[in-house]
């Protein structure tokens, strides 16, 4: 009887392994034996043509909706509107007499261990898409942490906006996270977290979640 139970458990676990969505399987980035790129559509230009550059998707992306009585994480949305907004009865539980507002934070987690061990990082950027007001996203607050439970640290004093010639009102914002990413790769971290929020005094920004999903781009040798 015990042998049959063990066999059933093994088969069940094997079945669970098969059903893991491909999106959340961390594909390894190959060693840079010759210069090449795999940017997943990100308009990133290498600093060195002798280096490799590879983009990876987050294994978890969503938004943190913060309201007085109804703070919660939301997954599955295509975009997120960052910045402070009025409370709404259906989303925020408006039975509240304090500050009348809510805010949203873009949250994403990446696995830096997919990059080759011993890789020499030349540059790393967090690429986030703004569907309107890229300048507002450029001025947003980016925080990150290497370990669960660590204090959040402010990141990316250096930033760059990339827009097409036809649409200057939307485009990618590149947050320079070179030192942060290099440490995570060298220490073989398998999960780092980034958070982007918008101060209340600035205009709201609509950023990509599942539509034009954020990417971590690392240029390395």
Segment 70-95 mean pLDDT:
84
Given a contact cutoff of 8 angstroms between Cβ atoms, the answer to whether 108 and 155 are in contact is no
Summarised one tens digit per residue, pLDDT across range 12-36 is 444 444 343 445 556 899 999 999 9
Summarised one tens digit per residue, pLDDT across range 98-148 is 556 778 999 999 999 999 999 999 999 999 999 988 999 999 999 999 987
Given a contact cutoff of 8 angstroms between Cβ atoms, the answer to whether 214 and 109 are in contact is no
- Domain ranges across the chain: 32-220
Within the chain, how many helices (H) and strands (E) appear? Answer: 4, 14
What's this model's pTM, rounded to 2 decimal places?
0.84
Segment 54-62 mean pLDDT:
97
With a pLDDT cut of 90, the percent of the chain lying above it is: 65
Question: Cα–Cα distance between 187 and 202 in angstroms, integer?
Answer: 37
CATH 2.60.120 given to domain 32-220: yes
Furthest-apart CA pair in the chain: how many Å? 70
Average confidence score pLDDT of the chain: 86
Given a contact cutoff of 8 angstroms between Cβ atoms, the answer to whether 126 and 194 are in contact is yes
Summarised one tens digit per residue, pLDDT across range 184-206 is 999 999 999 999 998 877 788 99
Going by C-alpha positions, the residue among 172, 144, 135 that lies closest to residue 55 is 172
């Amino acid at each position: 009887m015990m042998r049959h139970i063990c066999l059933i458990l093994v088969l069940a676990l094997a079945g669970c392994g098969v059903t893991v969505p491909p999106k959340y399987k961390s594909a390894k980035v190959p060693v840079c034996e010759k210069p090449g790129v795999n940017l997943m559509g990100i308009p990133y230009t290498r600093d060195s043509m002798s280096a490799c550059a590879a983009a990876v998707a987050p294994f978890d992306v969503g938004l943190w909706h913060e309201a007085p009585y109804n703070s919660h994480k939301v997954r599955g949305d295509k975009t997120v509107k960052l910045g402070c907004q009025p409370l709404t009865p259906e989303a925020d539980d408006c039975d509240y007499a304090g500050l009348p507002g809510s805010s949203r934070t873009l949250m994403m987690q990446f696995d830096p261990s997919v990059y080759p061990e011993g890789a020499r990082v030349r540059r790393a950027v967090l690429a986030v898409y703004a569907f309107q007001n890229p300048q507002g996203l450029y001025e947003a607050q980016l925080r990150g942490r290497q370990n669960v439970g660590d204090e959040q640290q402010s990141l990316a004093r250096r930033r760059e906006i990339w827009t097409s010639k036809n649409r200057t009102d939307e485009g990618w914002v590149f947050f320079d996270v070179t030192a942060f990413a290099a440490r995570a790769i060298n220490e073989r971290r398998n999960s780092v977290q980034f958070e982007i929020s918008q101060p209340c005094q600035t205009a709201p920004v609509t950023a990509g979640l599942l539509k034009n999903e954020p990417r971590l781009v690392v240029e390395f040798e």
